[in-house]
Chains A and B, each alone.
Chain A
Amino acid sequence: MQMSFANQALCAQFIAQNKGKLSISVMRVPDEIDNRVAALALKALGNEIDTLTPEQQKYLASWH
């Protein structure tokens, strides 16, 4: 349940930070929160992952 509840806690924080600014709708969890939860879980489990180098980012974004 910790994945659900980490999303709950961070979404509650997101609501508090954005009070009055959110549209009245049923919205998706922001991607930043989803990614943050996964990153926290990896950290908690002691795993490191790679990040794209600037060169790799540029390659992915370009025609080739």
Chain B
Amino acid sequence: MELQNRVSSDSGAINWFVQRLSGLVLLILLLMHMWIMHYSGGEEKILFDAVIKRLSNPYLKVVDICFLVLGLYHGLNGVWMVIQDYIKSATWKITLFSAITFVGLVLLVMGVVAVVPISKEWVNLP
């Protein structure tokens, strides 16, 4: 009965492992993020000009995109794990899995589009 309700043939072992691996990398990225954003310097860093100056650095863009991809994967995979624990209906599982994937892809595109095009020139805009 249980087996028939499963959405895929995947046992979840890979998800389980990647969840831990991404968690570990996210912890390191989070420490970097907290240091750069909240401890080294003042409040004005979270205003337009300062953010543009900082995010026009291509290395920080790469770090940010890694943070985005891993954060979304880890977060939405976690939601999927919670759903699997409480919802047994195959139809609901497929529906929710599709919804999560869709939300994930939309947010990934939103994040990439928001960060990648940033250039120093934007500071001169009115």
- Answer whether A and B are interacting partners: no
Q: B residues touching A (Cβ–Cβ < 8 Å)?
A: none
Q: A residues touching B (Cβ–Cβ < 8 Å)?
A: none
